Structure 1
Amino acid sequence: MSEQLRSLGEFTAEVEAMTAAMMTEEPQEIASMRCGEMENTAGSYGQYFGTWDIAHGMLRDYSMYTLYPITALAEDAEIDLISLSKTVDALDPAYSNYLRYSGFPKMGKLAVELRGLIRASTSRSDVVAALRAFTAYTNRLQAWSFHYFPWGLGKHFRYDEARLQDAPLPVADLGATRACITRGQRIRISWEPLGITVNATLASEENPELCGDVVAALPFTVIQDHAVVTGESMYAWTPVLSTAPIHLRERICDAPVGRLRYSQSTGQKFIVQYGPTTEDLSQPVLGEIDAADAGKLEQVGRAVWDSTFDNKKLIWMTVELA
């Protein structure tokens, strides 16, 4: 059967299988890009860093800020399928076609097929399933792209030490509160090959739907990476795709050591804060690591920073029920 004739269900099954294969193995597209082995040798004057840099940013915006909102719209019964299809046709091609040229030919081909299948579909459930699968697929590509991006170049672009010492604290938010999570589903988080394990409580009462989505996916093992803007915070792209309503958020800069956050809108990230942060955006509260274990996090954080910023040695985070 040709791809043009297959169903949304068949499309979804293929994409889910491709995503599953990427959970523990770097996809060929990422390896080819970082090693300068793309078939079309995109890049001016023989260099490929510019291609890599722009494609990495485009992939981030495509997965997080285009496909995820489209998926959320698809789940909204007030949005009819014709309007949804027109939205996809308006927003998708600029990203998927450029990425097709810049190292992701399979993704580009799948995006064209998906737009056609959505256009022809009368089943909301099939459309939602396909969009969820394709969003998860691009999230997983982005996870690998983020890990292997040469963030170590940042050592050449440092602030003056005097500026760092004099930098103002985040603006006070009169409505900000520090959440305290004391009751909820218990989980265990471990990092290998570091051999470090901590226990935590999920915000099952404060954000029950979000925590339910995470628990339903347990156990999972994913690459652990480090934030490059926020401060002393680690995150990992999960296999979850949650559009759950959020009832409790907390400013990142107000959160304590050991805070667990979950960012639906930036790739479905499971986030662990291990030290000071400066970002004043509010994010969904997922839970809190036990105070008795919080002291272990700095060692994890430093190792993960080296992994993301320097040596690229993979550190795996496993989350499971306690």
Structure 2
Amino acid sequence: MQRSLSDFIDEVKTLTHRMMSEEPKEIADLRLGEMDIPAGSYGQYFGTWDIAHGMLRDYSMYTMYPLVVLAEDQDVEPRTMSKVVDALDQSYSNYLRYSGFPKMGKLALELRAHLKANPTKEEVVAALRAFTEYTNKLQAWSFHYFPWGLGKYFRYPEERLQSAPPPVSDLGATRAHIKTGQRIRISWEPLGITVNATLASNENPELCADLVAALPFSTIQDHAVVTGESMYAWSPFVSTAPIRLRERICDAPIGRLRFSQSTGQKFIVQYGPTTEDLAQPVLGEIDEADVAKLAEVGKAVWESTFESKALIWMKVELA
């Protein structure tokens, strides 16, 4: 007999909570080549790891999260959501099941079965939110242990870097200054570095309220691989809050806090210049007195993400 949807949600939440402090077995097995199914042509598993990592990223960020947003839409009925999830989920979850994520694949299959059993709208939203948090945390661990250090073999020629145009705007040129708001504290261990910050409680009140409701939490800190001198960490909640203030990444000052709902619920700290010209939700800013501490954190996190894989934990709490 199939268990209840509430029991399913409870297990997913338990697995997610465990991943807040422990690497899941599926991630360890994938990076060590110890999967139950030895997927990979000619005995190698790097191709399997690479494709599975990318698919998991797309699955959590660009499939599960939009499904949550759609499920919360008052005009969308649960029966419609079942059909949409059935159409979008299978190609991801079935392939990932084969390529190192058997537990997740089994859970996805069960989720689709529950959604076909005529649940309420509230139950659909709760199930999709729980599963999105679960896949987000899987992706967080997958990102950390992916061999980004291979990037040193694929570098731009120095002359290309020297002749590249400067960032679109000087740091601080279009700063969205946060004058008042909820105060938080951010610390990094084992670095022993702590900074204070002000949230954009007036500019993005609903987003900041979602964050505050989840505090305190600790999560793995990782470094951006494209944006520039920026760090991010997957947060343990899902926010679909309306965004009222965005800022282009390349225009943001050192010390800017951002939050990316659409790429995994990432809490982002900018510690230096960036060039990416996409606009992201403003979450707050680190105190000017503490900004100088960020360079040391950024350097350590870069080393952690790209080389050593030593875990650096970011703790966010009310000040």
Q: Which amino acid aligns with 1:283?
A: Q
CA-CA distance at 1:294 after TM superposition: 0.1
Q: Which amino acid aligns with 1:196?
A: I
Q: Which amino acid aligns with 2:132?
A: T
Question: CA separation in 2, counterparts of 1:212 and 1:308?
Answer: 30
Q: Does structure 1 residue 156 correspond to structure 2 residue 153?
A: yes
1:86 is matched with 83
Find the residue that maps to 1:265 and give its secondary structure.
Answer: helix
Find the residue that maps to 1:6 and give its secondary structure.
Answer: coil
Q: Which amino acid aligns with 2:259?
A: Y
The partner residue of 1:51 within 32, 48, 52 is: 48
Give 5+ residue unaligned stretches, structure 2: none
Q: Does structure 1 residue 286 correspond to structure 2 residue 283?
A: yes
Question: CA separation in 2, counterparts of 1:162 and 1:237?
Answer: 35
CA-CA distance at 1:168 after TM superposition: 2.0
Q: Does structure 1 residue 40 correspond to structure 2 residue 40?
A: no
Change (3 A) 1:112 1:32: same
The question of whether the paired residues in 2 share the 8 Å contact of 1:121 and 1:127 is answered with: no
Find the residue that maps to 1:30 and give its secondary structure.
Answer: helix
Change (3 A) 1:258 1:171: closer
Q: Does structure 1 residue 106 correspond to structure 2 residue 103?
A: yes
Q: Does structure 1 residue 305 correspond to structure 2 residue 302?
A: yes
After TM superposition, the structure 1 stretch with the greater mean CA deviation from structure 2, 84-93 or 280-289, is 84-93
Q: Which amino acid aligns with 1:147?
A: H
The partner residue of 1:65 within 45, 62, 69 is: 62
Identical counterparts, % of pairs: 75
The question of whether the paired residues in 2 share the 8 Å contact of 1:8 and 1:127 is answered with: no
The partner residue of 1:29 within 26, 29, 34 is: 26
Aligned length: 316
The partner residue of 2:226 within 204, 225, 229 is: 229
Question: CA separation in 2, counterparts of 1:202 and 1:230?
Answer: 22
1:258 is matched with 255
CA-CA distance at 1:292 after TM superposition: 0.2
Question: CA separation in 1, counterparts of 2:101 and 2:160?
Answer: 40
After TM superposition, the structure 1 stretch with the greater mean CA deviation from structure 2, 185-194 or 117-126, is 117-126
1:217 is matched with 214
CA-CA distance at 1:165 after TM superposition: 1.0
2:17 is matched with 20
Q: In the TM superposition, what whole-angstrom CA distance separates every residue of 1:125-157 from its partner, at most 9, and x where no partner exists?
A: 111111000000000000000000000000000
CA-CA distance at 1:170 after TM superposition: 5.0
1:188 is matched with 185
1:269 is matched with 266
CA-CA distance at 1:177 after TM superposition: 3.8
CA-CA distance at 1:166 after TM superposition: 1.0
Give 5+ residue unaligned stretches, structure 1: none
Question: CA separation in 1, counterparts of 2:230 and 2:265?
Answer: 15
Question: CA separation in 2, counterparts of 1:122 and 1:313?
Answer: 43
Question: CA separation in 2, counterparts of 1:157 and 1:140?
Answer: 28
1:246 is matched with 243
Question: CA separation in 2, counterparts of 1:121 and 1:69?
Answer: 21
Q: Does structure 1 residue 314 correspond to structure 2 residue 277?
A: no
CA-CA distance at 1:23 after TM superposition: 0.6
2:74 is matched with 77
Find the residue that maps to 1:147 and give its secondary structure.
Answer: helix
Question: CA separation in 1, counterparts of 2:214 and 2:80?
Answer: 31
- Provide TM-score, normalisation by structure 1: 0.97
CA-CA distance at 1:317 after TM superposition: 0.3
RMSD, aligned α-carbons: 1.0
Question: CA separation in 1, counterparts of 2:82 and 2:164?
Answer: 47
1:95 is matched with 92
The question of whether the paired residues in 1 share the 8 Å contact of 2:144 and 2:309 is answered with: yes
Q: Which amino acid aligns with 1:167?
A: A
The question of whether the paired residues in 1 share the 8 Å contact of 2:210 and 2:239 is answered with: yes
Question: CA separation in 1, counterparts of 2:43 and 2:104?
Answer: 24
Question: CA separation in 1, counterparts of 2:270 and 2:136?
Answer: 21
The question of whether the paired residues in 1 share the 8 Å contact of 2:215 and 2:317 is answered with: yes
Q: Which amino acid aligns with 1:50?
A: G
Q: In the TM superposition, what whole-angstrom CA distance separates every residue of 1:270-315 from its partner, at most 9, and x where no partner exists?
A: 0000000010000000000000000000000000000000000000
